[in-house]
Amino acid sequence: MLEQIKKIKQEAENELKKISTSQELDTLRLKYLSRKGLISSLFSDLKDVVANERAIVGQKINQLKSDVESSYKELQESLKSDKETEDDVDLFLPGRQPFIGRLHPLTIVLDEIKQIFFNLGFHVEDGPEIETDYYNFEALNIPKDHPARDMQDTLYITEEILLRTHTSPVQIRVMQSQKPPISIIAPGRVYRRDTPDASHSPFFHQVEGLVVDEGISFGDLKGVITAFAHKMFGSDIKVRFRPSFFPFTEPSAEYDFNCVFCRGKGCRVCKNTGWMEISGAGMVDPNVFEAVGYDSEKYTGYAFGMGVDRIAMLKYGINDIRLFFENDLRFLNQF
């Protein structure tokens, strides 16, 4: 009997080594492990063994059974995983392309604007988009009945609370909380009651600039704006200032850059003028210094605005401001 067990064990081991398909494995299972298999028949033969050896022989058969079973299970697993790689994975399919996110063009341009002003010694300040009438108008020398309120059609929340129409209120907040010397830019979103078209949007982005110290002049303003124009669009771009009016600056100006498409020669985009309007600027009005408690005899300063959307449109040759806000991936994927 022990001989027979040994023989079956040997045989099973040899056969297990040769198995390479699940059909072969199943044949082996039927031969050894099924109810009519070789190992079961060993158990039936156990009754013929003399009583005092029965226990030890039984143990041997049990051992054989569990050995064959565990080899069987191992093989079954490995054949299964081979099968998965063969059948479920097509190595010739193109790989899955992960969707790569990217920065919005306005973010790219704003980062560039900030970097240029960092290098000129400015740092960034922030202010709320929901403002009070006081910061947006009153403290900027625009009293309630002032016609300049019509320059910017305002979205009111209540009579006193509104969506800021420009980033200039940040000038007031900064001067209220800091003493000169001040040298800041304040980027952010602003809102106006405009019907959207190619060049208007009910919200857009500005960068405010403010410098206050003793002895600051209009020449400093021109120098900084010119340095910015050269860094942003190239050193052949000229800058010009035209007299204008803002209640919070005196004197006030609007400033233009050479058209970035024809570099000043005149083309369709600049309507043959060679110039592009950028924004407003000027020397801080003494009334504004009064409102924040600065000594207007001691300090002078300049302020400027800048349209981020407009600069991005010039930089990338985009002719419709609405493209920035529609989130069309065909547009956004180009940057």
Contact residues toward ligand PHE (CB under 6 A) are 166, 168, 246, 249, 279-282, 303-305
Rounded least distance, CB 282 to ligand PHE, Å: 5
Q: Which is nearer to ligand PHE, 9 or 166 (CB)?
A: 166
Rounded least distance, CB 313 to ligand PHE, Å: 17
Q: Which is nearer to ligand PHE, 38 or 288 (CB)?
A: 288
Rounded least distance, CB 323 to ligand PHE, Å: 22
Q: Which residue has the tokens 């063009």?
A: 105
Asked if residue 208 lies in contact with residue 189, where contact means CB atoms within 8 angstroms, the answer is no
Rounded least distance, CB 224 to ligand PHE, Å: 13
Q: Closest Cα to residue 115, out of 222, 169, 187?
A: 187
Amino acid at 150: D
Rounded least distance, CB 203 to ligand PHE, Å: 13
Q: Which residue has the tokens 């190619």?
A: 198
Q: Which is nearer to ligand PHE, 68 or 276 (CB)?
A: 276
Rounded least distance, CB 148 to ligand PHE, Å: 10
Q: Which is nearer to ligand PHE, 75 or 281 (CB)?
A: 281
Rounded least distance, CB 208 to ligand PHE, Å: 6
Q: Which is nearer to ligand PHE, 264 or 282 (CB)?
A: 282
Instruction: Report the C-alpha gap between 313 and 194 in whole angstroms.
Output: 19
Asked if residue 304 lies in contact with residue 278, where contact means CB atoms within 8 angstroms, the answer is no
Rounded least distance, CB 206 to ligand PHE, Å: 6
Rounded least distance, CB 249 to ligand PHE, Å: 5
The 3-class secondary structure across the chain, one letter per residue, is: CHHHHHHHHHHHHHHHHHCCCHHHHHHHHHHHCCCCCHHHHHHHHHHHCCHHHHHHHHHHHHHHHHHHHHHHHHHHHHHHHHHHHHHHCCCCCCCCCCCCCCCCHHHHHHHHHHHHHHHCCCEECCCCCEEEHHHHCHHHCCCCCCHHHHHCCCCECCCCEEECCCCCHHHHHHHHHCCCCEEEEEEEEEECCCCCECCECCEEEEEEEEEEECCCCHHHHHHHHHHHHHHHHCCCCCEEEEEEEECCEEEEEEEEEECCCCCCCCCCCCCCCCEEEEEEEEEECHHHHHHHCCCCCCCEEEEECCEHHHHHHHHHCCCCHHHHHCCCHHHHCCC
* CA geometry: angle 131, 125, 193, nearest 5 deg: 35
